[in-house]
C-alpha cells in the first residue's frame, strides 16, 4: 500500500461543529472521533476512553482536551494521553486539513511509525 | 532574552509552597534562587512535634528533597542566612558573602520564638522551639537530663512538654493565663485538657509568671524562679511563650513593617518588587502562625508572581488542632461567644467530651470541641460557609452523623474506620487508599484527594469523610476548602461573582463572558462552560445564545447517555397519566428499533433504554410525544397520586394540579434537576416530602413544601406556605422556582440553595412580598414562553448533524481496512 493511498477524505471541516466532534463509523473496530478544538484544527482519536470505554466523541471539547462523558477523564487531543493524575492513552490517527477538507489515515499513529521503521 | 530572576529568602513551608504553586502556573518563567538559614531541605515544621515525641523521623517530614530543587533548576543555598537586602542594586547578601540579584524578591523569613526578657534568658539550656535544631537539642538533652520547664501553655508549649515527657523528662508547664490554650479553648475545655495531661504525668503552674532563670557556675540553667518567689529545678527551659514575625531583614532594608512585614491583598510589600508570605507577613494587621493561611497566601502570591494578577487574599478563617497523640481538641472561629450570641453546650466531663457551638444571627460562628473532634471539619465548613442553622439546631451538637448519608455504608467517623473500610461507594475507594495517597503524594486538599484517588469525585456524599481522613492525616497542616471556591481552574471567580458579572455587564455569549471575566483558558473547560451557559440563559432569556457545545452530552442530544454509549428515551407523561394510543406507539417503537429494555421509572413514566444515537430522531418521530427532559438540569416530572377523582381519601384533584404544573414548567432549564410531586391528601402517596417542590392537598387548600431531596442525603422538604386555589399554587411554585433559577449556583439543588440563603429569605421573597412574587412568576413565564419542545425541533431538522455519524464510502473503507 502506498503512503498516500492510506489517506482518505472524510468530510469538510465545517461538518464538524466548532468545539465539538463527529464520529466516523467503521464496519470493523471502534469508531474514530474527529475533534475540532479551533476553526482550522482537527484531531482524530479512537472513540473509546481508556478508563471504561466511554465514547469520547460525545464529550465536551475545551482547549486541547476532551472530557469523557461517562466519568470525566480528560484526554489530550494531540497526545491521546489522559491528563494527570489519570493514566492511560488512546490510539491516535494521522489527520490533515487540505483545502478545508479533513483527510484521515486509518493506520493509527504508533502502528504507522512501526511499519515505517520495518 | 534573559529570564527574570526570583530570589526567595527562607526555605520553609510558605516560601517553597509559593514556588510550587508558581511552578504549576508558569514553569520556567523565572531563574529561581532560594536561601535557607537551616542546613536542611524544606521540611514540614508542623510535624516537629511528632519527631520530638519519637513518632516520626526527620526523613518522614521532608517535603521537598534536594532532588526536587535540582529537577526544577532552582539554585539552593543551604545554611546561608541572608543578612542584607540591597534594594538599589536589587540583590541580597548572605552572611558568608554569597550574593544573588533579583527582579522579584520573596521574603518568607518566618518567625522567631518570643524569648522572655528575664535574667538568665541567655544561659545554656534555654531554647526556643521553632526548628529542627531546637528539636534535636531537646531530644539530646532528654537523654542525659531530668528536669524540664516549658514556659507557655499554648499549642507549641504543650506539644513540646508532651514530647519531652515521652522522652523521659519530668516536665512542668508554666502558664500566665488561668487555663491552658486560652486562645484556642474556653475555660471548661482548658480544664479538661489539663486534667488529661496531668494524668499523663505533666505538671502545671497556671496564673504564674517567670521572673528569673537561675544558672549554675558553668553558665548552664539550673532552676526557674516565679513571681511568687518559689523555684523549681530545671536543666532545660523551653521558651514557648509565643512567636514574633522575623522582620529584622526587611526592617533593615527600609521595608515598612508593623508587627510583621506589611503586605497588601496581593502579598506585595511597600516595595513593589518585594513580596512576603507566611509567618513574617502582616496582612490587614494580622500575622498568621498556622499553616492553612500560609498556603492560601502562597497560592495568591504565586498567581501574581506568574503575572496572572487575578487572586486577592482577603485573610483566612483558622482552626486549630493539638498534635498530642490521644488528645482530641479542635476549635475554630469565635468560640468564646459573648453578647449577641447563643451557645449550644454538650458537656460530659466524666466521659471527657465537651462541645460548645456558638451561634450568632442563626449562623454557626465558632466551635470548641474536646474529646470528640470527628465533626471538626464539618463544623468548620459551616462556619466558613456561613450557612443558616435553622431547624437543624436540635441536632447540630450531635454532628454530621445525625444527618445520615447513603453510599458510605453508614460510616461517618473516619477515625474509627479500618483501612479496608470503604469510604467512597461510587468509586470503591477505601480508607487505606486515601491515607496512602495523602502520605505518599503529599496531598493537602480535598480536591487533590479527589483527583488522585477518585474518592468523593462522583456523587460527593463522602466528601465530609474524606475531609476527616485528610484532617486526621495532616493535623493542622490541613488546608480547608476556601470559603468562596473558584468555579474551576479557569478562573479565581466564584459562582456568585460570575453570576453577578453576567447580570451587571449584560454578558450574553461565551466569547464575551470569557473575555470580560479574563478567563485563563480560551474557551473554558467541561466544568465552567455548562455553568456559564446556564447563567447566561437564565439571566438573559431570549437574548443569550444557547451553545450546544457547552452542554453535557445529555442536554446536547436530549437523551441520557448510558455506559455503553447508547441512550435512554423518556417521553413526557404529565402527572404520570397516559392512554392506550401512547402505550401502543411506545410498544411499536420498542419493536421497530429493537429496544432492549422498557422500564417504568420512579417518576411515573416509561423509559426506553439502549437506543442507538442515530436512531434517536426516528424514535422521537415515531413516538409523537414530547420530551420528558429526564436527562437535564431542568424540570423533570411532576409525580402525582390519584386524588379526589377516584381516591376515597383524596381532598383535591392532585392529578390535574400535577398536569397543570408540568404543562406550565415544560422545557424549563434550572441550576440542577427539579422534581415535583402533588399528593391529594396528607397520606402523601406521591412522596411530596422528598421533592424540590412538594404539594400536599388538604381539605381547605394546598400546602407547599420546598427543598426536599430523595438522593444522596435524604432531606425532608420544609413547609413554605399554604394557599387556597390551584392558580395560587402555580404562582407561588413558579415564583419559588424562578428565585432558585436566578440565584442558586449551578449544580446546587433547591436544598443547597435554601441552606445557603435560609428559608426565611425565601419566604420573604415569595410569600410575604406579593409584588415580588408576581414579578418572579412573570419572569418565569416570560422565560418559558415559546420555548420549543426539543424533540419536535429535532424531528423538524434542528441539529441534524449531532445524530448522524460520518461514514466512509464502503469500497474505500474495505480496501483500506484489509
Contacts of B456 (CB under 8 A, 6+ apart): B423, B424, B446, B449, B450, B462, B463, B465, B466
pLDDT score of B492: 86
What's the domain count of chain A?
A: 1
Q: Between chains, do B816 and A8 touch, taking CB under 8 Å as contact?
A: yes
Write the Ramachandran bin of B456: left for phi over 0, alpha for psi from -120 to 50, otherwise beta.
Answer: left
When pLDDT is cut at 50, 70 and 90, the band that residue B410 belongs to is low
Q: Check if the beta carbon of residue B612 is closer than 8 Å to that of residue B592.
A: no
List C-alpha distances in Å: B160 to B50, B54, B201, B369, B641: 10, 12, 14, 22, 66
Residues of the domain holding A85: 4-117
Query: Is B711 in a helix, a strand, or coil?
Result: coil
Q: Between chains, do A63 and B525 touch, taking CB under 8 Å as contact?
A: yes
C-alpha–C-alpha distance, residues B210 and B581, integer Å: 93
The answer, yes or no, to whether residue A112 has pLDDT greater than 80, is no
Q: What average pLDDT score do residues B90-97 get? A: 95
Q: Give backbone dihedrals phi and psi of B128, rounded to 5 degrees, phi first.
A: -95, -170
pLDDT score of A2: 37
Q: Check if the beta carbon of residue B532 is closer than 8 Å to that of residue B586.
A: no
Helix (H) or strand (E) holding B697: strand B693-698
Set of chain B residues whose Cβ sits within 8 Å of the Cβ of A74:
526
C-alpha–C-alpha distance, residues B674 and B693, integer Å: 8
When pLDDT is cut at 50, 70 and 90, the band that residue B58 belongs to is confident
Domain holding A97: CATH number? 2.102.10.10
The full DSSP string for A18-80 is TTEEEEEE-SSS--EEEEEEETTEEEEEES--TTT---GGGSEEETTEEE-TTT--EEETTT-
Q: Tell me, yes or no, if B219 comes closer than 8 A to chain A by beta carbon.
A: no
Q: B177-223 pLDDT, tens per residue?
A: 999 988 778 888 888 889 889 998 999 999 999 999 999 998 899 99
Q: Tell me, yes or no, if A28 comes closer than 8 A to chain B by beta carbon.
A: yes
Q: Check if the beta carbon of residue B508 is closer than 8 Å to that of residue B540.
A: yes
Q: Between chains, do A55 and B801 touch, taking CB under 8 Å as contact?
A: no
Helix (H) or strand (E) holding B243: strand B243-245
CATH architecture of the domain with range B126-241: 3-Layer(bba) Sandwich (3.50)
When pLDDT is cut at 50, 70 and 90, the band that residue B238 belongs to is very high
SS (H, E, C) B303-344: HHHCCCCCCCCCCCCCEEECCCCCCCEEEEECCCCCCCCEEE
Q: Between chains, do A52 and B563 touch, taking CB under 8 Å as contact?
A: yes
Selecting from A11, A31, A85 the residue whose C-beta is nearest the C-beta of B452 gives: A85
Contacts of B138 (CB under 8 A, 6+ apart): B52, B127, B129, B160, B163, B164, B167, B236, B238
Q: What average pLDDT score do residues B46-66 get? A: 86
pLDDT score of B326: 67
Residue of A nearest to B566 (CA): A55
For the record, the C-alpha cell of B670 comes out as 434550572
Radius of gyration, alpha carbons of chain A: 14
Set of chain A residues whose Cβ sits within 8 Å of the Cβ of B567:
none
B426 vs B596, more confident: B596
Set of chain A residues whose Cβ sits within 8 Å of the Cβ of B557:
58
Q: Tell me, yes or no, if B549 comes closer than 8 A to chain A by beta carbon.
A: yes
Average pLDDT of chain B is 89
Q: Which residues lie across from B598 on neighbouring strands?
A: B608
Q: B511, B549, B614: which to substitute to probe chain A, counting the most A Cβ within 10 Å?
A: B549
- Of B251-265, B436-450, B693-707, B710-724, which gets the smallest average pLDDT? B436-450
CATH no., domain B552-632+789-818: 3.30.70
C-alpha–C-alpha distance, residues B103 and B300, integer Å: 19
Beta-carbon-side half-sphere exposure of residue B632 (alpha carbons within 13 Å): 25
The answer, yes or no, to whether residue A4 has pLDDT greater than 50, is no
Gap from B801 CA to chain A (nearest CA, Å): 8
pLDDT score of B255: 95
Size of interface A-B (CB pairs under 8 A): 90
At the fourth CATH level, which superfamily is domain B5-110+245-305? FAD/NAD(P)-binding domain (3.50.50.60)
List C-alpha distances in Å: B594 to B589, B611, B615, B618: 8, 8, 10, 13
C-alpha–C-alpha distance, residues B541 and B503, integer Å: 12
CATH fit for domain B637-787, picks 3.30.413.10, 1.50.10.10, 3.40.640.10, 3.30.70.250: 3.30.413.10
Determine how β-strand B597-600 pairs with β-strand B606-611. Answer: antiparallel
Contacts of A32 (CB under 8 A, 6+ apart): A23, A24, A26, A44, A45, A46, A47, A93, A104, A106
B148-B151-B154-B158 Cα dihedral, nearest 10 degrees: 0
| pLDDT more than 90, % of chain A | 69
Helix (H) or strand (E) holding B274: strand B274-276
B489 vs B577, more confident: B577
When pLDDT is cut at 50, 70 and 90, the band that residue B484 belongs to is low
The answer, yes or no, to whether residue B407 has pLDDT greater than 90, is no
When pLDDT is cut at 50, 70 and 90, the band that residue A17 belongs to is very high
The answer, yes or no, to whether residue B483 has pLDDT greater than 60, is no
Q: Tell me, yes or no, if B817 comes closer than 8 A to chain A by beta carbon.
A: yes
Query: Is B704 in a helix, a strand, or coil?
Result: strand
Gap from A24 CA to chain B (nearest CA, Å): 4
pLDDT score of B543: 93
The full DSSP string for B588-611 is HHHHHTT-SEEEE-TTSSEEEEEE
Beta-carbon-side half-sphere exposure of residue B768 (alpha carbons within 13 Å): 7
When pLDDT is cut at 50, 70 and 90, the band that residue B482 belongs to is very low
Q: Check if the beta carbon of residue B10 is closer than 8 Å to that of residue B23.
A: no
Determine how β-strand B597-600 pairs with β-strand B635-640. Answer: unpaired
List the domain boundaries for chain B.
Answer: 5-110+245-305, 126-241, 495-551, 552-632+789-818, 637-787
For the record, the C-alpha cell of B717 comes out as 422538604
Gap from B268 CA to chain A (nearest CA, Å): 32
Q: Tell me, yes or no, if B525 comes closer than 8 A to chain A by beta carbon.
A: yes
B413 vs B191, more confident: B191
B184 vs A75, more confident: A75
Q: Tell me, yes or no, if A26 comes closer than 8 A to chain B by beta carbon.
A: yes
Pick the closest to residue B549 from B568, B532, B567, B562 (CA basis): B532
The answer, yes or no, to whether residue B234 has pLDDT greater than 70, is yes
Q: Check if the beta carbon of residue B275 is closer than 8 Å to that of residue B109.
A: no
Q: Check if the beta carbon of residue A29 is closer than 8 Å to that of residue B512.
A: no
If you ran DSSP here, which 8-state letter would residue B649 be given? Answer: S
Q: Tell me, yes or no, if B548 comes closer than 8 A to chain A by beta carbon.
A: yes
Residue B179: is it exposed, middle or buried by C-beta count within 10 angstroms (0-12/13-18/19+)?
buried
For the record, the C-alpha cell of B710 comes out as 430523595
Set of chain A residues whose Cβ sits within 8 Å of the Cβ of B805:
22-25, 31
The answer, yes or no, to whether residue B409 has pLDDT greater than 80, is no
Question: Do the two domains B126-241 and B552-632+789-818 of this chain adopt the same fold?
Answer: no
C-alpha–C-alpha distance, residues A26 and B190, integer Å: 72
Amino acid at each position: 500500500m502506498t503512503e498516500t493511498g492510506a489517506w482518505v477524505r472524510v468530510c469538510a471541516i465545517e461538518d464538524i461543529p466548532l468545539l465539538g466532534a463527529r464520529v466516523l463509523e467503521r464496519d470493523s473496530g471502534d469508531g474514530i472521533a474527529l475533534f475540532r478544538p479551533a476553526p482550522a484544527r482537527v484531531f482524530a482519536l479512537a472513540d473509546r476512553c481508556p478508563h471504561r470505554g466511554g465514547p469520547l466523541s460525545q464529550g465536551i471539547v475545551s482547549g486541547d482536551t476532551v472530557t469523557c462523558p461517562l466519568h470525566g477523564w480528560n484526554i489530550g487531543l494531540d497526545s491521546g494521553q489522559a491528563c494527570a493524575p489519570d493514566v492511560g492513552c488512546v490510539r491516535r490517527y494521522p489527520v490533515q486539513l487540505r483545502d478545508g477538507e479533513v483527510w484521515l489515515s486509518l493506520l493509527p499513529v504508533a502502528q504507522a511509525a512501526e511499519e515505517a521503521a520495518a | 532574552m534573559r529570564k527574570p530572576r526570583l530570589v526567595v529568602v527562607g526555605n520553609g513551608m510558605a516560601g517553597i509552597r509559593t514556588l510550587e504553586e508558581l511552578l504549576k502556573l508558569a514553569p520556567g518563567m523565572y531563574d529561581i534562587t532560594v536561601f535557607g538559614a537551616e542546613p536542611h531541605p524544606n521540611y514540614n515544621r508542623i510535624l516537629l512535634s511528632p519527631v520530638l515525641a519519637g513518632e516520626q523521623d526527620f526523613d518522614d517530614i521532608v517535603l521537598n528533597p534536594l532532588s526536587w530543587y535540582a529537577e526544577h533548576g532552582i539554585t539552593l543555598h543551604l545554611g546561608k542566612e541572608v543578612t542584607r537586602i540591597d534594594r538599589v542594586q536589587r540583590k541580597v547578601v548572605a552572611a558568608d558573602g554569597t550574593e544573588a540579584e533579583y527582579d522579584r524578591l520573596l521574603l518568607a523569613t518566618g518567625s522567631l520564638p518570643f524569648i522572655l526578657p528575664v535574667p538568665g534568658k541567655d544561659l545554656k539550656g534555654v531554647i526556643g522551639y521553632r526548628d529542627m535544631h531546637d528539636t534535636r537539642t531537646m531530644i539530646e538533652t532528654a537523654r542525659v537530663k531530668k528536669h524540664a520547664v516549658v514556659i507557655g501553655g499554648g499549642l507549641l508549649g504543650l506539644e513540646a512538654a508532651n514530647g519531652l515527657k515521652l522522652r523521659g523528662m519530668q516536665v512542668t508547664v508554666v502558664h500566665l493565663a488561668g487555663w491552658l490554650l486560652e486562645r484556642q479553648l474556653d475555660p471548661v475545655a482548658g480544664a479538661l485538657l489539663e486534667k488529661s495531661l496531668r494524668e499523663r504525668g505533666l505538671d502545671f503552674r497556671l496564673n504564674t509568671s517567670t521572673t528569673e532563670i537561675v544558672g549554675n557556675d558553668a553558665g548552664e540553667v539550673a532552676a526557674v524562679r516565679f513571681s511568687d518567689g518559689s523555684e523549681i529545678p530545671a536543666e532545660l527551659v523551653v521558651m514557648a511563650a509565643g512567636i514574633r514575625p522575623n522582620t529584622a531583614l526587611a526592617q533593615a532594608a527600609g521595608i515598612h513593617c508593623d508587627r510583621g512585614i506589611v503586605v497588601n491583598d496581593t502579598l506585595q510589600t511597600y516595595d513593589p518588587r518585594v513580596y512576603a508570605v507566611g509567618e513574617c507577613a502582616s496582612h490587614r494587621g494580622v500575622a498568621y502562625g498556622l499553616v492553612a493561611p500560609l498556603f492560601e497566601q502562597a497560592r495568591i502570591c504565586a498567581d501574581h508572581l506568574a503575572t496572572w494578577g487575578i487572586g486577592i487574599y482577603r485573610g483566612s478563617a483558622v482552626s486549630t488542632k493539638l498534635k498530642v497523640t490521644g488528645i482530641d481538641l479542635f476549635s475554630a472561629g469565635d468560640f468564646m461567644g459573648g453578647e449577641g450570641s447563643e451557645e449550644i453546650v454538650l458537656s460530659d466531663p466524666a466521659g471527657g467530651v465537651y462541645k460548645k457551638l456558638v451561634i450568632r444571627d442563626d449562623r454557626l460562628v465558632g466551635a470548641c470541641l474536646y474529646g470528640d473532634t470527628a465533626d471538626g471539619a464539618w463544623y468548620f465548613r459551616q462556619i466558613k460557609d456561613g450557612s443558616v442553622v435553622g431547624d437543624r439546631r436540635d441536632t447540630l451538637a450531635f454532628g454530621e452523623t445525625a444527618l445520615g448519608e447513603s453510599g458510605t455504608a453508614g460510616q461517618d467517623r473516619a477515625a474509627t474506620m479500618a483501612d479496608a473500610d470503604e469510604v467512597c461507594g461510587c468509586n470503591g475507594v477505601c480508607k487505606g487508599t486515601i491515607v496512602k495517597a495523602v502520605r505518599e503524594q503529599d496531598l493537602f486538599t480535598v480536591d487533590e484527594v479527589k483527583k488522585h484517588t477518585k474518592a468523593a469525585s462522583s456523587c460527593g456524599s463522602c466528601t465530609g469523610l474524606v475531609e476527616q481522613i485528610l484532617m486526621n492525616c495532616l493535623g493542622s497542616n490541613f488546608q480547608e476548602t476556601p470559603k468562596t471556591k473558584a468555579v474551576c481552574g479557569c478562573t479565581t471567580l466564584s459562582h456568585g461573582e460570575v453570576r453577578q458579572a453576567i447580570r451587571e455587564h449584560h454578558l450574553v455569549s461565551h466569547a464575551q463572558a470569557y473575555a470580560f471575566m479574563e478567563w485563563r483558558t480560551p474557551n473554558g473547560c467541561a466544568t465552567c462552560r455548562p455553568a456559564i451557559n446556564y447563567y447566561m440563559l437564565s439571566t438573559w432569556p431570549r437574548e443569550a445564545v444557547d451553545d450546544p457545545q457547552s452542554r453535557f452530552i445529555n442536554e446536547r442530544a436530549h437523551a441520557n447517555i448510558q455506559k455503553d454509549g447508547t441512550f435512554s428515551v423518556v417521553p413526557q407523561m404529565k402527572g404520570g397519566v397516559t392512554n392506550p394510543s401512547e402505550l401502543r406507539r411506545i410498544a411499536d417503537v420498542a419493536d421497530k428499533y429493537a429496544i432492549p429494555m422498557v422500564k417504568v421509572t420512579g417518576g411515573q413514566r416509561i423509559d426506553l433504554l439502549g437506543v442507538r444515537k442515530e436512531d434517536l430522531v426516528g424514535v422521537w418521530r415515531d413516538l409523537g410525544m414530547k420530551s420528558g427532559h429526564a436527562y437535564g438540569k431542568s424540570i423533570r416530572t411532576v409525580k402525582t397520586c390519584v386524588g379526589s377523582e377516584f381516591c376515597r381519601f383524596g381532598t383535591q384533584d392532585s392529578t390535574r394540579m400535577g398536569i397543570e404544573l408540568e404543562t406550565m414548567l415544560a422545557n424549563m432549564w434550572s441550576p440542577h434537576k427539579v422534581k415535583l410531586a402533588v399528593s391529594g391528601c396528607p397520606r402523601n402517596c406521591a412522596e411530596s416530602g422528598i421533592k424540590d417542590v412538594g404539594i400536599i392537598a388538604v381539605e381547605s387548600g394546598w400546602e407547599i413544601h420546598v427543598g426536599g431531596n430523595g438522593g444522596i442525603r435524604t432531606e425532608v422538604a420544609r413547609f413554605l406556605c399554604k394557599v387556597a386555589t390551584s392558580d395560587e399554587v402555580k404562582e407561588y411554585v413558579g415564583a419559588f422556582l424562578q428565585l432558585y433559577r436566578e440565584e442558586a449556583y449551578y449544580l446546587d439543588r433547591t436544598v443547597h440553595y435554601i441552606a445557603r440563603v435560609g428559608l426565611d429569605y425565601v419566604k420573604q421573597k415569595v410569600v410575604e412580598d406579593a409584588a415580588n412574587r408576581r414579578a418572579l412568576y412573570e419572569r418565569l413565564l416570560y422565560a418559558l414562553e415559546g420555548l420549543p419542545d426539543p424533540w419536535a425541533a429535532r424531528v423538524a431538522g434542528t441539529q441534524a448533524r449531532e445524530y448522524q455519524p460520518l461514514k466512509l464510502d464502503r469500497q474505500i473503507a474495505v480496501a483500506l481496512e484489509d
